[in-house]
Amino acid sequence: MLLPAALVLGLAALTSSLNLPFKPVERLLNDQTSGREYVWRDAVQGWQTSPLGGVGPYQGGPYLTYLFKDGCQLTPTLTRNGVACPENLSRWSSVWLIAHNAWLHWLLETGIVGTLGLVAVMGYALWRAALLGDALTIAVLYGFTAMNVVDVVIALPSQHFAELWWAAVGLSLLPRAVPEPAPASATAR
């Protein structure tokens, strides 16, 4: 489960020490997070209002003041092109505001209790997928886990294919026998 984090840290250290230009790592190391640090700060401050149980599912939007200040927007591109949010939709505008970090978002909306549940499900699914050795399931679970650092790609319903992550979690939890390692004599041939 710590392998993706170790790889990111190793890549960051390597690119920094050798002065290799690698844009994603440079952005993380140079504090260019496209305003995410403000959203993350808002999420932590919102979580502090209700640390144990959070503010409730889909109720975190108003606490994300950096995003909420603009009011209802369909997308920034539509807004720039003069397409306004319909009045009857504006009361739902905060429902889709996200903290751009899955763990901070779950902490805001579900508190310590819900976040510990999410971490337990994620950890067990990653561990189980690694035991089963299914490359596709491992790739989906670890890939989505890595993306959750800068976005919320596991919340449902989702425009980020969260359903795929939850299906992969389900596949990893199916009652299947864990493959036995091959005997040493069979691998020597």
Query: Is 106 within the bounds of a domain?
Result: yes
The C-alpha atoms of residue 107 and residue 50 are separated, in whole angstroms, by: 10
Q: What is the pLDDT of residues 114-159, one digit of tens each?
A: 999 999 999 999 999 999 888 999 999 999 988 888 888 888 877 7
CB 171 within 8 A of CB 134: yes
Contacts of 59 (CB under 8 A, 6+ apart): 109
Given a cut of 50, is residue 104 above it in pLDDT?
A: yes
pLDDT per residue as tens digits for the range 151-186? 888 888 777 788 998 999 999 988 877 777 767 765
Mean pLDDT for the stretch of residues 4-25 = 63
Contact assessment for residue 60 and residue 46, using Cβ atoms and an 8 Å cutoff: yes
Contact 116, 63 (CB under 8 A): no
The answer as to whether 6 is a domain residue is no
What's the CA gap between 95 and 72, in Å, rounded? 10
| CA angle in degrees (0–180, nearest 5) for 142-143-147 | 115
In a domain, 60, yes or no: yes
Give the structural domain span for 92. Answer: 15-176
Number of structural domains found in the chain: 1
